[in-house]
A = this chain, B = another copy of it.
Amino acid sequence: MTLPALDRHSAVPLYYQIQQHLLGQIRSGALKPGEPVPSELELSAGLRISRMTARQALKSLCELGVAYSRRGKGTFVSEMKLERNFRQALSFSEEMQARGSKPRSRVLSFEVTDATPDVAKALRLPHGEKVVSLRRVRLADSSPMGIEWSRLPLQLCPDLLRSFDPRGSLYQALQERYGIRIAVTEEVVEASVAGAGEAKLLGIRRSAPIFAFTRTSYVRGGQPVEYVKSTYRGDRYKLVNRLTRPDGGSAGED
């Protein structure tokens, strides 16, 4: 087991340097699933750091899901595929890039409107507040994948209509222009079938299976930023989720 060379004068925290090193060992196969990673004492003695720092490094590994700890036994590399295929709160652009496809958009409308009751409720706006509304057909490598209808509070992004090219990445624009960073997305997913309008926009036949999403995205503190209703082709789109169980407590099986 090779230990990392730490840079004690770096702005990068020690525990994070260790975490990254171990992550590299796991990815490269030097540490295999089921094998123990260095114990807290091994790390603290070998790297001349305090045990709490070693502990923080191992804990952060566990939080990533790539390792797990057992009291009295040690910390081990998880046997789960740690492929990053699991769904996160990605924008369409990010998701398509992660798949190796080129995201494109066909803009259906881009305007300021009054918030309808469902939008106002989701975005926690007063009745009749103005929102930016953006409707787009989303394409991957020129083939239609879904229809998205986003609404954002106008006050959060007052000149979006003028400054944003609606064919580009909305999340990127929000971050760059307003410093708004989405932290979490809540979504409701329904299975449905395409209506006539959807079928035409998506290039599928009527009554073909589709996913219907209703999503609300929030910044870190919980303020809602975006409310999206979207429709995705059932033949082109799958959801890959990773669900954890409520407790996961520390009682012993084995």
Contact = CB atoms under 8 A, between A and B. Distances in A.
A221 B79 contact: yes
A214 to B, nearest CB: 9
Interface stretch (A4-12, A131-139, A157-165, A183-191): A183-191
Contact of A190 (B87, B234, B253): B234
B189 A189 contact: yes
A101 interface: no
A223 interface: yes
Contacts of A185: 242-245
Contacts of A219: 253
User: How many chain copies does the complex carry?
Assistant: 2
A34 B221 contact: yes
Interface in A77-126: 78-81, 86-90
Interface string A219-254: 111110000000000100111111111101001111
A240 B186 contact: yes
